Amino acid sequence: MNKKVLVGAAVFFAVIVFAVVWGMALQKQESATKLREVQAGTGTIRETVSTTGVVEPRNRLKIQSSVAGRVEEVLVDEGVMVTKGDRLALLSSTERAALLDAARLRDKKEQAYWETVYSKAAILAPIEGQVIVRSIEPGQTVTTSDSLFVLSDRLIVIAYVDETDIGRVSQGQDATITLDAYPDIVVRGKVEHIHYESHLENNVTIYHVDIIPETIPKVFRSGMSANIDIVVDEREGAVLIPAGAVQNHDGQSVVMVKNPQGDAQGTYVKVTTGLQDEDLVEIREGIEAGTTLLVHDDSFVLPENSGSGNPFLPQRKKR
């Protein structure tokens, strides 16, 4: 009886050992399959402050009439570019309109006389710019307080920058602009001015930053929502690796370097990181370009690259 018990115990122990060994082997194999090789590359990395904003005129000027009267002709429409001194509309003063209306009922010659000696008042453009609002039509009666047109000297983008990021933004920095309405159109610009007064939006303190576009596409309209990326730092020829390849061990940044012997687990190497964007991180010390790293599959997906260039080159994020 004791012999049977001993045999049963031995068999049970053997099964347990086999299960443990088999489980460890499966775990090791599974761990190995989750790692893939990635080589450190070189390229340019940009650190950006991403925010939202709005397209607005830099100088918005309302055009009013110096006399009350009736609109006779409107000479421009919205979207038209005008120069200083261009005629925008012609008005008859209240007195002229009354005289002409009375003469029209009596005699055409008298009407022609008053039209000659009592000329129309011209509304002139005080600046060079674009007509962004036209508020009048022929025959409409206006007063001296009515806004007839609105002119804009040029459209800019106002970026709303969080106070935690405003310290990294400075005049002259490059920026890229996209519109919610036209996400495929990318416009380059520069930071022109950082406003001194703060604004509170949704309990968040922000500062307005003026971005001047290099070119203004025809699709730009005042009031359009914009997405802005301000380049606050940039490195050329930097050693770049996937951001997910960097791990934190005991407060230090490390990467897993493939062993020459082909060990699937690799060796952890301490690194010093630099700039980082959504996909890549700069390595300043620890490894060189061409070093083969082991990266978990779920930690990073290579940016799409249809060409033959380095896949680690910065890719604009998809919106």
What integer best gives the mean pLDDT of the chain? 82
Using only the alpha carbons of the chain, give its radius of gyration.
35
Cα–Cα distance measured from residue 96 to residue 194, given in angstroms and rounded to the nearest whole number: 50
For residue 152, give the H/E element and its range: strand 147-152
Here the tokens at position 109 are 């010659």
Inter-residue contact 240 to 279 (CB < 8 Å): no
Cα–Cα distance measured from residue 173 to residue 178, given in angstroms and rounded to the nearest whole number: 17
Percent of the chain beyond pLDDT 70?
77
Distances (CA, A) of 193 to 173, 190, 200, 213, 226: 10, 9, 19, 13, 17
315 φ, ψ (degrees, to nearest 5): -115, 135
Mean pLDDT of 141-147: 93
Which residues fall within 8 angstroms of residue 184, CB to CB, at 6 or more apart? none
Residue 18, pLDDT score: 52
For residue range 56-86, what is the model confidence (pLDDT) as tens digits? 999 899 999 988 988 989 999 998 999 999 9
Helices (H), the chain: 2-33, 94-106, 108-117
Res 314 pLDDT > 50: no
Residue 30, pLDDT score: 43
Q: Which of 236, 233, 237, 244 minimizes the C-alpha distance to 278?
A: 244
Cα–Cα distance measured from residue 44 to residue 277, given in angstroms and rounded to the nearest whole number: 11
Full-prediction pTM beyond 0.85? no
Cα–Cα distance measured from residue 195 to residue 91, given in angstroms and rounded to the nearest whole number: 40
Query: In one letter, which amino acid is 310?
Result: N
Cβ–Cβ contacts within 10 Å for residue 196, how many?
7
Cα–Cα distance measured from residue 57 to residue 130, given in angstroms and rounded to the nearest whole number: 10
Highest mean pLDDT: which range of 33-47, 73-87, 252-266: 73-87
For residue range 93-125, what is the model confidence (pLDDT) as tens digits? 887 777 777 667 677 766 666 666 667 889 999
Find the distance separating the first CA and the last CA of the chain, reported in whole Å. Answer: 75
Mean pLDDT of 123-149: 93
Mean pLDDT of 149-175: 95
Here the tokens at position 270 are 């301490």
Domains, the chain? 49-57+154-234 (2.40.30.170), 65-152 (2.40.50.100)
Residue 316, pLDDT score: 41
Mean pLDDT of 26-32: 47
- Give how far the C-alpha of residue 119 lies from the chain's centroid of Cα atoms, to the nearest Å: 51
